[in-house]
Amino acid sequence: MVDSRNKGAAFERDIVKRLNGFFEEHGLEIRCKRNLDQYQTKDLCDIEIPSYAIECKAYKDGWWYSKNWWKQVCDAAGDRTPVLIWKFNNKPIRVTLPITALNHGLECDGVCVVSFEDWLAFLCEGWVEEQKTA
């Protein structure tokens, strides 16, 4: 249990570092950090960024995300968009999010899975557009 908790915390730190580096690189005044209260309080996400609740999962073996992981981030999201960032050893980081997060015009309860890099590009595009219209 301790090793899996350490692995999860290390993955969360890596995602925070990647997110903050990406935001800085693109001139976005957004910073995030791990939500350390998640270990004491139920239904809190791992990382928060504007409008998004992020849950991170890192496991040794597997090939697809668990529906329980998705339920966990949805329960923690509240009125924010749930985002599940997950990885298995020797496989790329993947992101699961509602399809409506990518296309607000859709009326669908489905989810999509994209690469971490594609999700970052989507976030940046949306936030840069918001800053232009602000």
The whole-angstrom separation of Cα 86 and Cα 94 is 5
Residue with tokens 């050893």, as numbered in its chain:
89
Residue 47 confidence (pLDDT): 95
What pLDDT score was predicted for residue 60?
92
Considering only residues 104 and 47, tell me which one the structure prediction assigns the higher pLDDT.
47
Per-residue pLDDT tens over the stretch 36-66:
656 556 678 999 999 999 999 999 999 999 9
Measured CA to CA, the distance from residue 97 to residue 111 in angstroms comes to: 5
User: Sorting pLDDT into bands at 50, 70 and 90, what band is 17?
Assistant: very high
Residues in the chain, how many?
134
- Note if the pTM is more than 0.95: no
Percent of the chain beyond pLDDT 70? 87
φ, ψ (nearest 5 deg) of residue 63: -140, -10
- Count of domains in the chain? 1
What CATH number is associated with residue 14?
Answer: 3.40.1350
- Token pair listed for 117: 């890099």
Residue 46 or residue 127, greater confidence: 46
> Which residue range(s) make up the domain with 58?
2-133
pLDDT at 93 over 60: yes
- Give the residue-averaged pLDDT of 76-82: 95
